[in-house]
Amino acid sequence: GAGVSQSPSNKVTEKGKDVELRCDPISGHTALYWYRQSLGQGLEFLIYFQGNSAPDKSGLPSDRFSAERTGGSVSTLTIQRTQQEDSAVYLCASSFEGQVQHFGDGTRLSIL
Amino acid sequence: SQQGEEDPQALSIQEGENATMNCSYKTSINNLQWYRQNSGRGLVHLILIRSNEREKHSGRLRVTLDTSKKSSSLLITASRAADTASYFCATAPGGGADGLTFGKGTHLIIQP
């Protein structure tokens, strides 16, 4: 079966623009996670969706970041008014009922 | 924020040798996981060890866990060029479906 799919794989945008990153989890997985990976901060947890429960947003770095998960499947991570420090690889993962997380290959975001 | 540290940060060995990486963490855990990341790719789950386990094996991988010292080690025996990657340990406070907290990783290079 297909793994976690993320799009786009690369995104270059100008400072101040909004960006949307998409994650298609593995079919049937109940939990979905977003992480950010940067040289300075390493791998950071951002947000987590479990079923129909309210998401755990504890890792979002600022109010410019938001995420939604429609119909318990596809998720989008939105960054508004991007800043250069938002440049990073954004990784999505999914899991079934608290089991091992399966990661996509990420979206490499570059803010000019 | 980072849970802890892996050491060494980088390790270069000859093919066929064994590679040992260490990880320390700060909070109490339910389990500890090791992941591998090839350049430009997402993370791949390698092995999970529960807090009541001291050692676990999977193929050429051996993981140990010392909860009294809040540390773990990953041993890769008979290394191969394909083992070249970054290796991360990860923990989750509740151990279930929580977002993972990753260490900074060890970059392993296997010289042919």
Mean pLDDT along residues A85-107: 93
For chain A, give the number of residues. 112
Decide: B85 and B38 in contact? Cβ < 8 Å. yes
Nearest to A98 among B2, B97, B104 (CB): B97
The pLDDT of residue A42: 87
Chain B contacts in chain A segment 3-42 (CB below 8 A)? 4, 30-31, 33, 35, 42
Q: Which residue has the tokens 């791998």?
A: A43
Return the pLDDT at B2: 39
- Find the residue in A nearest to B96 (Cα): A98
Looking at the complex, report in whole angstroms how far the Cα of residue B4 sits from the nearest Cα belonging to chain A.
11
pLDDT tens, residue by residue, A1-22:
589 999 999 999 999 999 999 9
* Region B77-85 average pLDDT: 97
Neighbours of A53 (CB within 10 A): 10
Q: Which of A58, A95, A104 sits opposite B97 (nearest CB)?
A: A95
Q: Do the Cβ atoms of A65 and A55 come closer than 8 Å?
A: no
pLDDT per position as a tens digit, B21-66: 999 998 888 899 999 999 999 999 999 999 999 999 999 999 999 9
Q: Is the pLDDT of residue B96 over 90?
A: no
Question: What average pLDDT does this structure show over A89-107?
Answer: 93
Contacts of B101 in chain A (CB under 8 A): 45
Partner residues linked to A32 by β-bridges: A49, A94
pLDDT at residue B57, rounded to an integer: 97
**CA dist B81 to B14, B15, B60, B66, Å?**
9, 6, 14, 29
Q: DSSP label at A105?
A: -
**Mean pLDDT for the stretch of residues B84-103:** 83
- Tell me the Ramachandran region of residue A97: left when phi exceeds 0, alpha when psi lies from -120 to 50, beta otherwise: left
Cα of A1 vs its chain's centroid, Å: 21
pLDDT in tens, A33-92: 999 999 877 899 999 998 878 888 888 999 999 999 988 799 999 999 999 999 999 999
Give the span between the Cα atoms of B41 and B87, in whole angstroms: 12
Q: Does A42 sit within 8 Å of B99, measured CB to CB?
A: no
Say yes or no to pLDDT of B95 above 60.
no
pLDDT of residue B1: 35
- Give the closest of A43, A48, A98 to B88, CB-based: A43
Q: A28-37, A83-92, B3-12: which has the minimum mean pLDDT?
A: B3-12
First-to-last C-alpha distance (Å) of chain A: 37
Q: Are strands A31-38 and A42-50 parallel, antiparallel or unpaired?
A: antiparallel
pLDDT band, residue B97 (cuts 50/70/90): low
Is A103 within 8 Å of B43 when comparing Cβ atoms?
A: yes
Q: Which two tokens stand for residue A33?
A: 């996670």
Q: Name the residue among A31, A47, A106 with its Cβ closest to that of B42.
A: A106
Please state, in angstroms and rounded to a whole number, the distance separating the CA atoms of residues B63 and B32: 10
Pairing status of strand A107-111 against strand A88-95: antiparallel
The four Cα atoms B26, A105, B63, B75 give a dihedral, to 10 degrees, of -110
CA distance A47 to B45: 19
